[in-house]
Amino acid sequence: MSSDRRRLRPRALLAAACLLLPPALAGCRHDMQNQNKMRPYRLSTFYADGASARPLPAHTVARGDLRADEAYETGIRDGRPVADLPFPVSRELLQRGRQRYDIYCSPCHGRVGDGKGMIVTRGYKQPPSFEEEQLRHAQVGYFFNVMTQGFGVMPSYSAQVSVADRWAIAAYIRVLQYSQAAPLSDLPPETQKAIAGDLATSAGPAAGSPAPGSAAVPPSVAPAAPRPQTSEVP
Ligand code: HEC
């Protein structure tokens, strides 16, 4: 009986201390902010090699990390940018592409892809306009690859933008290119009439190209000629 009481005493003292000494309360906590875990690359005395991280077993792939489809993951097949999107073009895809483009690309490339984004006006290197001949003829896989790998001073966006979203953006870049050079005859008849009316009433500058995204979906996302110097992609 008396030995039982002695065994309880230290715990009772600790509880009392925690209640009576508010500043000491922090020391009584053993919850999520204080875990028995290893940070990456932290030294460990547990394993013989002194590293807490275990080497990957040979010939294994972490769950969800299998990159079996090279063209889908890189935009390149047999050393050349792929010409087609990996999935059919839909309005939803292009809208998703526009939304992601506006978030991740327009700060530098501008909302219409002219390379005059806000960051550029503050001194960042100006990217080329997507209207440039070379980029107009680039395959859709090329845009995917630039986003994935980065290009020159432009960083890779593979960490921020998922594979599927990078394809959606690549498709939307085609829309931007098309919207900036769409022939009047491609627009719906009502829009053509409205523009003709505007042109007739205003002697000023032509009410030129339609706003991005307002034009019809491009007939094809695959342009004519392949881009010659793909090996330049870093
Ligand atoms: C921080 C600014 C910035 C952002 C954000 C950015 N870019 Fe760029 N991008 C650049 C610059 C600068 C270049 C030119 C790089 C160079 O020549 O060194 C460039 C070049 C490019 C090129 C042209 C490559 C060529 O062949 O000339 C493409 C295509 C491109 N970017 C696509 C994108 C897409 C798509 C996004 C959004 C996921 C994006 N960029 C986001 C700054 C940016």
Alpha carbon of 151 to ligand 1 centroid (Å): 6
Q: Which atom of ligand 1 is nearest to the CA of 152?
A: 18
- Please tell me the chain's helix, strand, coil percentages from 3-state DSSP, rounded to the nearest 5: 45, 5, 50
List the residue whose alpha carbon is closest to atom 18 of ligand 1. Answer: 152
pLDDT at position 89 over 80: yes
Q: How far apart are CA 21 and CA 31, in angstroms?
A: 19
**In which band, very low, low, confident or very high, does the pLDDT at 77 lie, cut at 50, 70 and 90?**
very high
Strand partners, 130: none
Are 141 and 71 contacting, i.e. CB atoms less than 8 angstroms apart?
A: yes
Which structural domains are found in the chain, ordered by start?
70-194+210-229 (1.10.760.10)
Query: Residue 94, Cβ neighbours under 10 Å: how many?
Result: 21
Least confident of 50-54, 57-61, 63-67, 71-75: 63-67
Least confident of 49-58, 82-91, 143-152: 49-58
pLDDT at 178 (0 to 100): 93
Least confident of 84-98, 186-200, 203-217: 203-217
The pLDDT tens digits for 121-149 are 999 999 999 999 999 999 999 999 999 99
pLDDT at 130 (0 to 100): 97
Q: Which atom of ligand 1 is nearest to the CA of 153?
A: 18
The pLDDT tens digits for 169-198 are 999 999 999 998 888 899 999 999 999 899
Chain mean pLDDT for the chain: 82
Residue % of the chain over a pLDDT of 90: 54
Q: How far apart are CA 93 and CA 112, in angstroms?
A: 18
Cα 189 to chain centroid distance, Å, stands at: 37
pLDDT at 39 (0 to 100): 84
Residues 6+ apart with CB under 8 A from 89: 171, 217, 221
Strand partners, 227: none
Alpha carbon of 129 to ligand 1 centroid (Å): 9
Name all residues whose Cβ lies below 6 A of ligand 1.
104-105, 107-109, 119, 124-125, 127-128, 143, 146-147, 151-154, 157, 161, 169
Residues 6+ apart with CB under 8 A from 202: none
List the residue whose alpha carbon is closest to atom 20 of ligand 1. Answer: 127
Q: Which residues of 23-46 are buried (b: 16+ CB within 10 A; e: fewer)?
A: eeeeeeeeeeeeeeeeeeeeeeee
Check residues 16 and 66 and name the one with the higher pLDDT.
Answer: 66
Identity (one letter) of the amino acid at 223?
A: P
Q: How far apart are CA 128 and CA 227, in angstroms?
A: 15
Tell me the three state secondary structure of residue 42: coil
